[in-house]
Chain A
Amino acid sequence: MEQKTAPVLEMRNITKRFPGVIANDNISLTLHRGEVHSLLGENGAGKSTLMNILYGLQQPDSGGIWMHGKPVRLQSPADAIKHGIGMIHQHFMLVPSLTVAENVALGLRSKRHPLTNLKTVAHRIQELSEKYRLQVDPNAYVWQLAVGERQRVEIIKALYRDASILILDEPTAVLTPPEVDDLFVTFQQMAANGRSMIFISHKLHEVLQLSDRITVLRHGRITGETFPQETDRRQLAQMMVGREVQMAPNKSEVRPGSVMLDIEGLFAPGDRGGDAVRNLRLQVKSGEIVGIAGVSGNGQRELAEAISGLRKPRAGKVQINGTVLRTSCPKSARKAGLAYVPEERMRDGAIGDFNIKENLILLDHGDTKFCRPSGMLRFAKIKEHCNRLVDEFNVKTPDLETPTKHLSGGNIQKLILARELSGNPKVLIAAQPTRGVDIGAAEYIHKRLADERTRGTATVVISEDLDEIMALSDRIAVMYEGEIMGIVERDNASREEIGLMMAGVQRLNAA
């Protein structure tokens, strides 16, 4: 290990205010040559703002940036790129209708200006992809690529610009466990070549695995700096949230009852034709949580929609509590006792411009509880009901009249959960229940799901987050390309085995 002299990057006393909040409050951060420095924090902790400032997308109100001991001004991404800073964005910054080579060449000055010189670019991409084991075809169109390949294109884009500092904004969010392992090998090789990285992730075990140093942010301030060998997941979570966090909910002893959800031979079409769900068979008993693991885009959304009646299956049948559901009829599913927490919560789960009260009664505003025979709403009853739900589910809101879109992701999710569970469902489908939700709210949502299990609900949890699946499930089903690759008991499940099934490498005979 070489002597660590002047840091390659220093952010000193960065402060950035937005109307009503201080996103970054006097934050200082250093980065050394060849170092992987992790930045950990909840949504809204200020990580993105800090990185946007570093990449020239935003300007700090005060404080400054030094590189190799000299002050620099980064007023646009072009400045940042010039100083050797590259950013791998959480949402890929790629143009699907262009080829890999074109995407890499964007913004670079061509040697044959004004014409492009894509052949040279493609050649150089090939060299980089061999050097860093980033397999990708320079002439493929980006829309043809799988997410893992797109991720590699993003990294090549930064390497092509010879970035010596890389900002990695949740680069593993959409990858399978084997892909994550490959990516980490690449990152380690990049670090060994003297490149420095700022790694942003929610996944604590990844942070512990990859980092040289970890800085934790909360409410715009640094709450701790530590090293992976000196800490563990529990402690990191505590630094992020500011209190003791329960990593997995307590699950009481429950003996599963009769089959509540019975899916047989289900085929459901995808958005672009073809079958997104293929010959799927699954039974869930009352008092049981079945986790559906898998990289998103493998038919999970289509499965949830087919069960809830939002997507017409091509074949097969779904039974809830012994009633065969009419296809493409959400009402029949609801009547049979289904509750559904959709993955796109602002698109399918709530109406952003409606207030809390209106969203809470979306399911049963036509019911005689809330509606007179004349069609007029019973506002007093509704208010009472909603106040009770908001209290019970700990939804943090100024009042019931607040537009739902003004709440945080976690509070919106709690609101949806409150509405869905208020009808005492027989079957609950919860898709990505804690995606983009802060740890405190996630902890609460997990607890509620565990409570539902105790109450006797048959629950399906669909999640990309393997930690979540492992924490909640009694059984784990792995989906790959619309099929269930295997179902394992939680107690016998290993991450490696599930990872292989998620990648479609291994198939288990149906349990």
Chain B
Amino acid sequence: MNDFFSTTILIATVASGIRLATPFLLASLGEALGQRSGVLNLGVDGVMLMGAFVAYFVVLKTGNPLIGAAAGILLGMVFGLVYAFITVNLHAEQGVSGIGIYLFGLGMSDLLFQKLVGTPLPIMPFPEIHIPLLADIPIIGPMLFTHSLIVYVAFLLVPAFTLLLNSTTYGMNIRAVGENPAAVDSLGVSVTKVRYSAIIIGNGLAGLAGAALAIELGIFQHNLTNSMGFIAIALVYFGAWRPFGVMAGSLIFGMVAAIVLQGKTLGIIPRSASDLAAMAPAVITIFALVLVANRFKQPAALSKPYERGR
């Protein structure tokens, strides 16, 4: 009886950890891609908020979470286009421009929500997809294979991005532009095109991350992400700019959050300590970052605008 009970809790905790990790994973994969091309984007959280609102609004109107997710991606890509113009063509300082994007997204998403929706109405979440056969495996099945489509997509993107970065011409261009754009330029490859594409894809993923969050929760509210976008940026450093590293970081973060949540629900963590416990994921991330920091070098051209002949 006791055994059964704890197994159920274990399954529920792990499954919820994976779910909680998903928005982090999507956002940090996107950020990692942009950073590999040498562009730092501190505006992830703002793009996530906008993606979250747009997805929420579209699902509210259409009732279709897939269209909502697509709208989130599209919104993110539009932000990517703007950010690419600012940083690649105008050579703006990336740290400050990113913060500008964040503040814009934070305010704009709330304004649109107040004007267009007003009272929070719940929306239709993603349906759970039970993968045939795999979902029937005891313990592992319900942990890993009873999630919504977006969770599978996020985790499948990890090997896909690894392949993209390491084994394709495009991936090689991205890595090279992030290290020494002048070299790439001298070989006749357009630094502008490579960076534009990486930023647009990356921001599309940030938009999707926001959409995933809003649709999974079924609501939208002011500052829904609660700075998840900034954690996602930290996870890129934690993961040493590698897709699997970023995934490991996201999972640690999601799991710790799930355990804290579960602990509170079960009353193991007293109410008085719950605010402290809420800090746990952040504290653990900082520890992990300190441990990992400086083991790997960041892309040499990160946050440096490229101008021919300078």
Contacts and interface: CB of A to CB of B under 8 A. Distances in A.
Interface string A92-105: 11111110001101
Contacts of A55: 186
Interface string A51-92: 010010110000000000000000011111100000101001
Interface in B251-310: 297, 299-300, 308-309
A506 B134 CA distance: 68
B309 A102 contact: no
A114 B173 CA distance: 12
Most buried by B among A57, A102, A107: A107
B168 interface: yes
Contacts of B297: 97
A109 B168 CA distance: 11
B188 interface: yes
Interface string B178-211: 0110111111110000000000000000000000
Interface of B: 167-170, 172-173, 175-176, 179-180, 182-189, 297, 299-300, 308-309
Nearest to B173: A106
Contacts, number: 77
A193 interface: no
A106 B177 CA distance: 10
A106 B309 contact: no
A186 interface: no
Question: Ordered nearest first, which 6 A-B pairs have the shortest CB separation?
Answer: A78-B188, A107-B187, A93-B183, A107-B189, A95-B176, A95-B179
Contact of A89 (B170, B175, B179, B186): B186
A103 B308 CA distance: 19
Nearest to B169: A110
Contact of B185 (A77, A94, A114, A115): A77
B220 to A, nearest CB: 38
A103 to B, nearest CB: 8
A295 B238 CA distance: 38
Contact of B186 (A77, A98, A102, A116): A77
A104 to B, nearest CB: 9
Contacts of B169: 105, 109-110, 113-116
Contacts of B182: 93
Given A52-B309, A58-B309, A95-B175, A115 B187 contact: no
A95 B168 contact: no
B180 A96 contact: yes
A95 B187 contact: no
A52 to B, nearest CB: 7
A58 B308 CA distance: 9
B188 A76 contact: yes
Contacts of A115: 167-169
Contacts of A114: 168-170
B168 A96 contact: no
A98 B177 CA distance: 11
7 contacts: A57-B308, A76-B188, A96-B300, A102-B172, A105-B172, A107-B184, A116-B169
A102 B187 CA distance: 12
Nearest to B184: A106
Nearest to A117: B169
Given A52-B309, A116-B172, A95 B188 contact: no
